Amino acid sequence: MQEEFYILQYHLYVLALHQYMKMRIPHYDYEEHFGGVYYIFFRGVDPATGSDTGIFRDRPARESIEFLGRSLLAHSTFPT
């Protein structure tokens, strides 16, 4: 995940989704409405080695996503 910068990728995707949901869902709350991130590496999934093999999941802290938003969107027209 780190070597291929997937962590940066999914944080940017989460920020984009967070901004979209803030605009579309009345009374949107990150903690209530955002479930998390899942990466499934099909070549890595093998039930014989355990149910978590080849599956990555995370739910970035709301504070991290809000900080990223403030940092990247400071001069944009998106609500922060």
Is residue 24 in some structural domain?
yes
Domain presence at residue 78: no
User: Which pLDDT score, from 0 to 100, does residue 63 have?
Assistant: 97
Please report, rounded to a whole number, the percentage of residues in the chain having pLDDT higher than 90.
62
Q: Does some domain include residue 79?
A: no
Give the pLDDT score at 79: 61
Q: Is residue 25 one of the residues assigned to a domain?
A: yes
Residue 2: φ, ψ to 5°: -75, -40
Full residue range of the structural domain in which residue 46 is found: 6-72
CA distances from 1 to 24, 33, 39, 77 (A): 30, 25, 9, 31
| Residue 44 domain flag | yes
Q: What angle do CA 43, 49, 55 make, to 5 degrees?
A: 50
Check if the beta carbon of residue 18 is closer than 8 Å to that of residue 30. Answer: yes
Number of domains in the chain: 1
How many Cβ atoms from other residues are within 10 Å of residue 16's Cβ?
12
41 inside domain:
yes
| Residue 77 within a domain | no
